[in-house]
Amino acid sequence: VNPKRQVSSYNLPLANALFPELVKAVFELEETLSKEHTLKQTDGKTLLEHSKEEEQRRPPSSHCAINCNAQFTPHVDSGRGSGQSLSMIVGLGDYIGGELAVEGSMYDIRYEPLEFDGWKLRHWTNMYQGERFSLVWFTPAEFSVDAA
Q: What tens digit of pLDDT does each residue of 24-33 get?
A: 999 999 999 9
pLDDT over 90 at 55, yes or no: no
Mean pLDDT comparison of 11-20, 67-76, 82-91, highest-scoring range: 67-76
| Model confidence, pTM | 0.86
Torsion of the alpha carbons at 115, 116, 117 and 119, rounded to the nearest 10: -100
pLDDT at res. 148: 42
Query: For the chain, what is the mean pLDDT?
Result: 86
pLDDT over 50 at 52, yes or no: yes
Q: Which residues lie across from 131 on neighbouring strands?
A: 94
C-alpha to C-alpha distance for 78 and 7, rounded to whole angstroms: 20
Residue 78: band (very low, low, confident or very high) from pLDDT cuts 50, 70, 90: confident
